[in-house]
Amino acid sequence: MVGLPIARCADRSNRRNIVTYSVGLWSMMTAARGLAQNYWQLMLARIGVGVGEAGRSPPSHSMISDIFPMKELATAIATYNSGMLVGFLMGGWIQEYFGWRIALMAVVIPGIFFASVIKFTLKEPQPQRQLVNLA
State how far the Cα of 90 lies from the Cα of 99, in Å rounded to an integer.
Answer: 13
What size, in residues, is the chain? 135
Q: If we measure between CA atoms, which residue out of 90, 122, 123, 127 comes closest to residue 109?
A: 90
Res. 112: pLDDT tops 90? yes
3-state secondary structure of 114: helix
Query: In this predicted model, what pLDDT tens digit does every residue of 87-98 receive, in sequence order?
Result: 889 989 999 999
What mean pLDDT value characterizes the chain?
89
CB atoms within 10 A of CB 122: 14
Q: Which domains does the chain have, with CATH numbers?
A: 3-121 (1.20.1250.20)
Of the chain, the percentage scoring pLDDT greater than 90 comes to 61
53-101 pLDDT, tens digit per residue, is 998 888 999 899 989 998 999 999 999 999 888 888 998 999 999 999 9
Task: With cut-offs at 50, 70 and 90, classify the pLDDT of residue 135.
Answer: low
* Distance of alpha carbon 43 from alpha carbon 55, whole angstroms: 19
Give the amino acid at 119: K
- The pLDDT-based confidence of 4 (bands split at 50, 70, 90) is confident
